[in-house]
Structures are given as C-alpha cells and as structure tokens.
Amino acid sequence: MNKLLSISIKEVNQKIYGSAVRPSEICKASIKLTSIVKPLNAYITVTSDVAEEQASAADERQQKNSLLGQLDGIPIAIKDNYCVKGKPTTCASRMLANFSPGYNATVYEKLRMQGAVLIGKTNLDEFAMGSGTVDSLYGPTKNLWGSEMLPEFYSYGSDGSQVTTRKLHEKDAWHIAGGSSGGSAVAVATGTCYAALGSDTGGSTRNPASYCGLVGLKPTYGLVSRYGLIPLLNSMDVPGIFARTVDDAVLILNAIAGPDQADPTTVQREYVPINLSETIDISNLRIGIPKEYGVQGISEEIEGCWAKVSHLLEEAGASVVPVSLPHTDYSIVCYSVLNRCDVASNLACYDGIEYGHRADEWGSAHELYKKTRSEGFNDVVKSRILVGNYFLLAENYEEYYVKAMKMRRLIAQDFDVLWNNNVDLLLTPTTLTEAPIYDEFVQLDNQTQCLIQDHCTQPANMAGLPAINVPIELSREGLPLSLQLMAPLFHEQRLLTVAKWIEQTVRFPRLELKNSCLLE
C-alpha cells in the first residue's frame, strides 16, 4: 500500500478498475498517513468521516462496474479557503474559525461528483496573504524536503538518482513550504493525497509547488469557477492545481474547468478537455527567455537550471530567443497596490454582525466593529486593510488605484506584443532560490517577502495568463529547483504539452514511501 500512495492518478486508477485495490483501502492508508506526517502541519482539518463515506460509495461503484471515471476513489485535498458544506472553512483565521458553509465550492462539487475522496482541508497563510504558509492561526506548515521525516519515511524512486539532503544543525530548523497554499503542496508531496487544490493570486500555487518539487498549475483567469473560493483579489484569484505529474494536473483541470452560472467571471463557452500525447514534438515552437526575470537575488543554481532547460529545448529543435517585458519591474508594485485595495473591500463585511467572529462588546456598534476586527485578523491582514483603505481614499484614488490599473494594462500589453510576434511560450524561474530556512525567511516582514517571492509569478496573474511550475532537479542541498512556463490566454494545451516534455526529459527525482508496516 505504501507504494500505491506514491504513484500517479492514472496508475492507481488502473488498479481500481482492475479491482487490485479498493478505494476504501487507499482512503484508510491516506488517513493514517496524515497522522504520521502531522508534524509538518499540512492539514487544518482531516475530513476522515467524509472521506470514508465517499470511499465506501466508490467501493460500491467498483463492485458494480459503474465507476465514474479516472478520479473515482482518488484521495484529494483542498485549501481551507474553499467552501465545503458542513465542514470548517477557516481561511486560517480566527475571524472564520467557527464558520461552516452551507454549500460547496463549484470546484469541489465537480470533483465530488466524479468520485474524488476528500481527505481534508489544508493550511495556508491567513486569508491567503503570504508566501510562506507561516502566518496561519494554526501554525506554520513545514516542507517535507530537508526535514528529518524525509529520510525516515521516504526514498527516491527510479526516476532520479539518490542524493543527500543537507541535515540542518539545529533541531528546530526547517525549510518553508512556500505560500500561501503550502498546506496543499505538502499534502501532495507527502503522499496523503494524489492532488490538491490551492488558490493562485500572485503565485500562491506555483511558489509552494516550486519549493516542494511538484507540478503547480495556474489556469487562465475565467477558465475555472471561483464560486465558493473566499476571495483575496477578485480580478486575479484562480483555483490552482497541485499534482505529482503533468498528466495528473490535466486530469484535475479537465474535471474542474468550464463555465459556471454561479460565477459570472467564468468564460461562458464549453470547455474542451485536454489530452496529452506520450510522444511530443516541440521543434516548431518559439520560446522566449525574458531578460527582466534574471533579477538580483536569483541563485546560481536557479540560473543554471534555467540555462540547462533552455539548452535542452534548443537541442530538441525549439527556437529559444531572448525577449523583453519592459514593465516587469513595475508589476510587483502595481500588484501590491491592487492587492491591498481588494483586501480592504473584500474584508469589509467581517464586522461581527454580517460575517465571522464577534467580539464580546456591547458598548456601541463602533466599538463592536473595532474589537471584532482587532481580535479576528492577524497583523498582516490588518496592515493590508489599513493600507488599502488609504489607497482608496477620495484624495488618493487617482494617484494609487487608477494608476495601478493603467499600469496593469501596460503589463498585459507587454505579453500581447510577444504573442503577436510569434512567441509561443515563456520560460522563467518560478522562485529565485530553493526553499529558504524558516528562521531566515521570517527575518523579513510579510510584505517584503511577498515582493521577493512573487516577483516571477505575479505578472501572469496581472495578465490573466496560464502558467505552470515544473520541478527540474535537486540542488546541492537536496532541495527542489523549479522553472515556470507561461502561455497566451486559454492555451493550456500548449502549456501542458511543453511542461510534460520537460518533465519527461529532466526526470525529476520522485519520492516513494518506505517502511510499509507504517500503513498496515
């Protein structure tokens, strides 16, 4: 069973269809594994009751030869800012610590209807405001890579050579998982589920996927419904997908994409499922290398990865060309302004009367609001609300919000120029380094870290583009190094095809569970 938790969705689906294993057996092993990896703090809520009920229903369909498809009986997890009916949806905040919605987010409902088994709700930075999953009411999430748990419970599969991960000298030292969807990333990396949903506003799926050695897909804005996703930035939020392989990410995307009458921001046209070939020819592609992404602070190893994959693409016949996105340096500042404006607006309803936590205050409505919001939000959230309200003041509106929106248009036009000049894809770093050590990461405040961590990822959100993180190799310290691909709007087929080619070519080392007695 330990081997089964380490393989792809396609492989385990074949075993389910062949009756080699029952969904309830996989579910039981997944739930037990969540307890083993609990020190990493990937989950806020393990939904064992829901999982067992769903797996039992999958068992019945298996016996009747009426399985619902490739996701039937497959354990998945979702970030705890998606609504699940009757289950806590906390956004890792005291403000929503006791909130259980009366409906399901569309993406979860679609997965549920295809037989997926919900193992749990995963940890995040409070209200998804962070890039490390260190600012959660429930504590930080720790990366599996570089942890003491890695050599104890995991070995490297046949995909890659054995490496030695650096042993940190201090017992309590550990690497961050990335954020804000770090819990979902660690849930997949540890094998407690086969895929997970995150959200991606400025890189919150691709960043932790990079640090945890996973495929992390951000679809085109509007391709996947946001209904039931508690918003951060309405015009940039996109449901993101974590998986171990590109093919697994495609299976999840095919399950959740498409129009939704409950979400008017979805594109109201039929979604055509993506199917990737095993044999891929990239010789007719033109791939751009934007010079603005080679910024100060990028590590030598990430630069080496970037150059290595560029060379591999050229060797395979692709045309790899230097390009420029001249407004990139303004993008992160523009994103920061729009982020705070949307935060101030979206969180205004959490006042102790309409939604969320209510303080024990009876003096006046003003005192109730003040105490409720002071108690309910952490300092990071309160800071963004205050700054956003400042930007939205009548005397500041034109100077900040309107200018930022104009700059956003210029950033999007930079990409359009490249696509119109026959550039098919862009290849960039995802993060500038391998996963930082927690103690070093928190030396900088949340805002400064987001400026660093989101540099390569947030332009895709600004322009609404699809983007994907692909793990490439392990660093000298034994930590994942990854790269990002970006494509024109709604060109997921092209994006995922090249991502799969890179995956096949670099053969990133895969982790397998060992010590099978743990899961007996």
Model confidence at 267, in pLDDT bands (50, 70, 90)?
very high
pLDDT in tens, 79-99: 999 999 999 999 999 999 999
Asked if the structure places residue 354 within a domain, the reply is no
Residue 266 has pLDDT above 90, yes or no: yes
Residue positions counted in the chain: 520
pLDDT at 216: 98
pLDDT in tens, 273-302: 999 999 999 999 999 999 999 999 999 999
What would the mean pLDDT of 462-488 be, rounded to a whole number?
Answer: 98
Active site residue 283: no
Enter the tokens of residue 330: 């303004």
Asked if the structure places residue 417 within a domain, the reply is no
pLDDT at 354: 82
What would the mean pLDDT of 241-262 be, rounded to a whole number?
Answer: 98
User: In this structure, what is the dihedral angle of CA atoms 273, 278, 283, 286, given to the nearest 10 degrees?
Assistant: 40
Q: How far apart are CA 19 and CA 59, in angstroms?
A: 10
Q: How far apart are CA 272 and CA 341, in angstroms?
A: 35
Give 158's DSSP letter: T
The total of structural domains in the chain comes to: 1
Residue 163 has pLDDT above 60, yes or no: no
What would the mean pLDDT of 130-147 be, rounded to a whole number?
Answer: 97
Asked if the structure places residue 291 within a domain, the reply is no
415 neighbors 465 (Cβ within 8 angstroms): yes
Active site residue 158: no
Residue 402 has pLDDT above 60, yes or no: yes
Q: Which of 24, 48, 79, 482 is catalytic?
A: 79
Q: What is the CATH number of the domain that holds 205?
A: 3.90.1300.10
Q: How far apart are CA 449 and CA 125, in angstroms?
A: 13
Enter the tokens of residue 402: 């309107």
Asked if the structure places residue 496 within a domain, the reply is yes
Percentage of the residues of the chain whose pLDDT score is greater than 70: 96
Model confidence at 166, in pLDDT bands (50, 70, 90)?
low
Q: How far apart are CA 304 and CA 310, in angstroms?
A: 10
Enter the tokens of residue 263: 């979400």
Enter the tokens of residue 201: 């506003």
Q: Which of 181, 204, 225, 336 is catalytic?
A: 204
pLDDT at 72: 98
pLDDT at 371: 95
pLDDT in tens, 403-442: 999 999 999 999 999 999 999 999 999 999 999 999 999 9
pLDDT at 170: 60
State which residues form the domain around 463: 1-284+424-513
What would the mean pLDDT of 34-59 be, rounded to a whole number?
Answer: 98
Residue 396 has pLDDT above 60, yes or no: yes
Residue 356 has pLDDT above 70, yes or no: yes
434 neighbors 481 (Cβ within 8 angstroms): yes
Q: Which of 24, 93, 147, 180 is catalytic?
A: 180
What would the mean pLDDT of 30-40 be, rounded to a whole number?
Answer: 96
Asked if the structure places residue 375 within a domain, the reply is no
pLDDT in tens, 199-234: 999 999 999 999 999 999 999 999 999 999 999 999
Residue 331 has pLDDT above 80, yes or no: yes
pLDDT at 45: 98
pLDDT at 518: 54
Percentage of the residues of the chain whose pLDDT score is greater than 90: 90
Residue 169 has pLDDT above 60, yes or no: no
Model confidence at 172, in pLDDT bands (50, 70, 90)?
low
pLDDT at 146: 95
Asked if the structure places residue 236 within a domain, the reply is yes
Model confidence at 519, in pLDDT bands (50, 70, 90)?
low
pLDDT at 17: 96
Active site residue 19: no
